[in-house]
C-alpha cells in the first residue's frame, strides 16, 4: 500500500499540471510486498522471458530472443485491452524509504485499440535498470471505460534482483542467430559423394543447436542438386542421396520424418556455369527450407 500511496501522490502532482482533475477517481494496481513475484518463464538459448504479475491488471513482460544482435522488448499485457487510442506516461517512482529521491519521467507509451502496450529496447532496459535500483516503473493513463477514472499500474521491485540475474545469464547464452537466419540455407558439397564442405558442416551444426530448443518446426523441404559431371541418372540418384542424408540429420535432431520432404533434381536447375570448378562447386548443393506455423 505504501507504493500505491506514493504512486497516487506522484500522479496527482504530475497530472494536475496537465489539466487532470484532482477530484478524479484513481484506480491503482500493484502487487503488495507479499504478492510481488518475478518469474523467468522462458530460459532457453532461443528465448528469455521475465514476467511480473500486477494483480487484477495484467502482466509485465520483458523478453529477448536469439538473433544476430542483442535485443529486448517490453510488453504490458492488460486484462482489459484499450478500447480507444491513447497515451500512458511511464515514470520511475522511488521507494518510500529513500526520501528526497525524485520521480523520473521515462517515456510515453502509445496505447492502441485492442492491443497490449509495448516499449522498445532502450526503454525496456531503462525499466530493468530502475527496478534493479529499487524504483517502481509506473504507468499512468486515462481509463477508456469510465470518463471519471484514471489508472495507475506499478511494477514492484521486491523479489526482482535474483530473477533479473538469472534473466541476464539467459540473455548471455542466447544463440547469435534466429530462425529467420537459418530457415533458408544452402549446403554445398565437395566434388563427388555426399561430403559437405567445411562451412556447410558448420552451418548444419548451427541448425542442430537451434532445433534442440525449438519444437515448432512445421515442415522442412530438402532439394538436392549436383553438377553436370557424370551421367544424368547417376547425378539424380546422388542428389537424392545427399537430401536423404540431411533428412537423417534432422530426424536425429528430433524432427518427425513425415514433416520432411525431399526431392532430387540431379544436374537440372543449375545456378552457375558447369564449365568452371567454381561454378560446379556452387551447383553441388542441398537447399533447406524450414517453415513454422
Domain that holds residue 186: 179-291
- Model confidence at 24, pLDDT cuts 50, 70, 90, reads low
What CATH number does residue 93 fall under? 2.60.40.2540
In a shared domain, residues 164 and 215:
no
pLDDT of amino acid 106: 97
Q: Which 3 state secondary structure label does DSSP give 233?
A: helix
In a shared domain, residues 285 and 183:
yes
Query: What's the gap between Cα 39 and its chain centre?
Result: 16
In a shared domain, residues 143 and 191:
no
In a shared domain, residues 194 and 262:
yes
In a shared domain, residues 116 and 208:
no
Count how many domains the chain has. 2
Q: What is the pLDDT of residues 58-84, one digit of tens each?
A: 999 999 999 999 999 999 999 999 999
Q: Which of 114-118, 157-161, 190-194 has the lowest mean pLDDT?
A: 190-194
In a shared domain, residues 249 and 140:
no
C-alpha cell at 190: 565437395
In a shared domain, residues 224 and 130:
no
pTM, rounded to two decimals: 0.83
141 φ, ψ (degrees, to nearest 5): -160, 160
Final residue belonging to a domain, choices 156, 172, 188: 172
In a shared domain, residues 165 and 186:
no
Amino acid at each position: 500500500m505504501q507504493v500505491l500511496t506514493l504512486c497516487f501522490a506522484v500522479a496527482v502532482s504530475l497530472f494536475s499540471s496537465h489539466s487532470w482533475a484532482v477530484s478524479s477517481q484513481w484506480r491503482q494496481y500493484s502487487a503488495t510486498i507479499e504478492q510481488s513475484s518475478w518469474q523467468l518463464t522462458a530460459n532457453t538459448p532461443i528465448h528469455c522471458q521475465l514476467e511480473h504479475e500486477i494483480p487484477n491488471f495484467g502482466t509485465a513482460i520483458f523478453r529477448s530472443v536469439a538473433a544476430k544482435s542483442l535485443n529486448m522488448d517490453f510488453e504490458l499485457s492488460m486484462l482489459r485491452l484499450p478500447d480507444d487510442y491513447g497515451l500512458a506516461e511511464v515514470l520511475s517512482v522511488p521507494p518510500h524509504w529513500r526520501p528526497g529521491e525524485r520521480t523520473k519521467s521515462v517515456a510515453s507509451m502509445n496505447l492502441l485499440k485492442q492491443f497490449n502496450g509495448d516499449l522498445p529496447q532502450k526503454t525496456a532496459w531503462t525499466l530493468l535498470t530502475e527496478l534493479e535500483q529499487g524504483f517502481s516503473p509506473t504507468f499512468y493513463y486515462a481509463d477508456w471505460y469510465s470518463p471519471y477514472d484514471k489508472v495507475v499500474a506499478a511494477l514492484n521491485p521486491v523479489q526482482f534482483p535474483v530473477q533479473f540475474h538469472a534473466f541476464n545469464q539467459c540473455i548471455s547464452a542466447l544463440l547469435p542467430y534466429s530462425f529467420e537466419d537459418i530457415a533458408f540455407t544452402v549446403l554445398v558439397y565437395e566434388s563427388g559423394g555426399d561430403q559437405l564442405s567445411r562451412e556447410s558442416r558448420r552451418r548444419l551444426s548451427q541448425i542442430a543447436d537451434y532445433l534442440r530448443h525449438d519444437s515448432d518446426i512445421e515442415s522442412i523441404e530438402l532439394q538436392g542438386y549436383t553438377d553436370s559431371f557424370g551421367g544424368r541418372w547417376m547425378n539424380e540418384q546422388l542428389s537424392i542421396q545427399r537430401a536423404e542424408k540431411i533428412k537423417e540429420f534432422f530426424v536425429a535432431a528430433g524432427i518427425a520424418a513425415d514433416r520432411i520432404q525431399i526431392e532430387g533434381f540431379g544436374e537440372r536447375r543449375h545456378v552457375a556455369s558447369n564449365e568452371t570448378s567454381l561454378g560446379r562447386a556452387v551447383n553441388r548443393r542441398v537447399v533447406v527450407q524450414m517453415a513454422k506455423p
